[in-house]
Amino acid sequence: MKKVITYGTFDLLHIGHINILRRAKELGDYLIVAVSTDEFNEKKGKKACYSFEDRKKILEAIRYVDMVIPEENWEQKEEDVKKYQIDTFVMGDDWEGKFDHLKELCEVVYLPRTKDISSTQIKDNIKDGKSMG
């Protein structure tokens, strides 16, 4: 069985999230999604609209996702690759090159982001009273 892992906050679920989850799942048989905890988001200077528990439940309901784990710190990625015997590590191409050190342990793939969509953009549009699309 080929295992794939990806990471993110996954707040305000949108088509870009679905696209990366679908494409990540297509790279293997079993997809693990590590979701940033509220505490880790705080350390990164981010504030999610939904709690970690809610974001975890939403992801668990998506057919491409086989397992959801908490992401609690930056250093965790290497530990997770070893612990879960990961074959392919996937991130959006906005992280290109940042995780190349993991290539010693597994394949590293940077997938193109979906154009013109992000949780930050959605939040800004809501604030400005604009619609998405």
Upper half-sphere CA count for residue 82 (Cβ side, 13 Å)? 7
Question: Do the strands 107-111 and 88-92 form a parallel or antiparallel pair, or are they unpaired?
Answer: parallel
Distances (CA, A) of 83 to 31, 43, 95, 127, 128: 14, 24, 22, 41, 44
- Evaluate the CA torsion angle 113, 115, 117, 119 in order and state its sign: positive
Query: Which residues participate in catalysis according to the annotation?
Result: 44, 46
Which amino acid, 2? Answer: K
121's tokens:
């953009």
Distances (CA, A) of 36 to 11, 42, 56: 10, 10, 9
